[in-house]
Amino acid sequence: MPANFRIPRSSRALTRTHKAAVAGVATLGAAAIAFTAVPGGAHTTASADTVAAPVQIGSQPVKDVKASVTDQLAGTSVKIQAIEAKKQAAAQHKARTAAAQHKAEAAARHKAQAAHKAAKAASRSAERPRMETVAAATSYGNNLDGWIRKSLSIMRQHNIPGSYSGLHRNIMRESSGNPAAMNGWDINARNGIPSKGLLQVIQPTFNAYHVPGTSANIYDPVANITAAANYAAHRYGSIDNVNSAY
């Protein structure tokens, strides 16, 4: 190179300019890279001075959330217990009500049964005097037929068996229908206790089998028939079973 050749002074200035341009291009490139790194739809107008505050999770907020959840669970448990207690109380009340109703119904049935029995007994008591009154009011002839029929009425009241034909048959055989008849020749007469009346009854037998409500006179036709029928019922089952001396 010729010794007198010199590089112009302006070359150093260009060099500084170039450096400045390169620095600017680098800065623009970094900005472009930063811009492309921003997600789509995000705002890019924030200034460089705006810096997001760092998210910190402290222990106190977590504790507060846990306590709140615990309180809510405790409140729910209390509510459930209250509901269950109400259900149990309602069930117990229903059971007590049903038991009381059952007891009342049983008492009502018992009372009704007792009233029915009492009414039935009263009806029977009222019916018995009515029947006896009707029997007493019935008039019977003062003859053998009337005596037999009246005796049969009294016999029914005292549950003494016997029929009209059975009485009539034995009366006719023993006394021929004479209420004053007396046997003075048989063994009873010889022993001093002669047979008397329609059915020829001795005095000891008449006294033993006399039916209340009839005359105490052995010669009374109705008293004689009824006492003899009562004696025959105890010994033979019924006056109808007697066909000879008894």
User: Do 232 and 239 touch, CB atoms closer than 8 A?
Assistant: yes
Asked whether residue 199 carries a pLDDT value surpassing 60, the answer given is yes
User: What rounded mean pLDDT belongs to the chain?
Assistant: 77
* Res. 204 pLDDT band, cuts 50 70 90: very high
Outline where the chain has alpha helix (H): 10-36, 59-137, 144-157, 164-175, 187-190, 203-209, 221-236
Report whether CATH 3.40.190.10 matches the domain 144-241.
no
Residue 74's Cα: distance from chain center in Å? 44
User: Do 152 and 226 touch, CB atoms closer than 8 A?
Assistant: no
Asked whether residue 173 carries a pLDDT value surpassing 50, the answer given is yes
Query: Which is it for the CA torsion 132, 137, 138, 144, positive or negative?
Result: positive
Average pLDDT over residues 207-228: 97
Can you give the pTM of this predicted structure?
0.46
pLDDT digits (tens, 9 = 90+) for 99-135: 888 888 888 888 888 888 888 877 776 666 555 555 4
Can you give the residue ranges of every domain in the chain?
A: 70-137, 144-241
Cα separations (Å) of 78 from 33, 86, 246? 60, 12, 99
Query: Which is it for the CA torsion 163, 164, 169, 175, positive or negative?
Result: positive
Looking at per-residue confidence, does 214 or 25 come out higher? 214
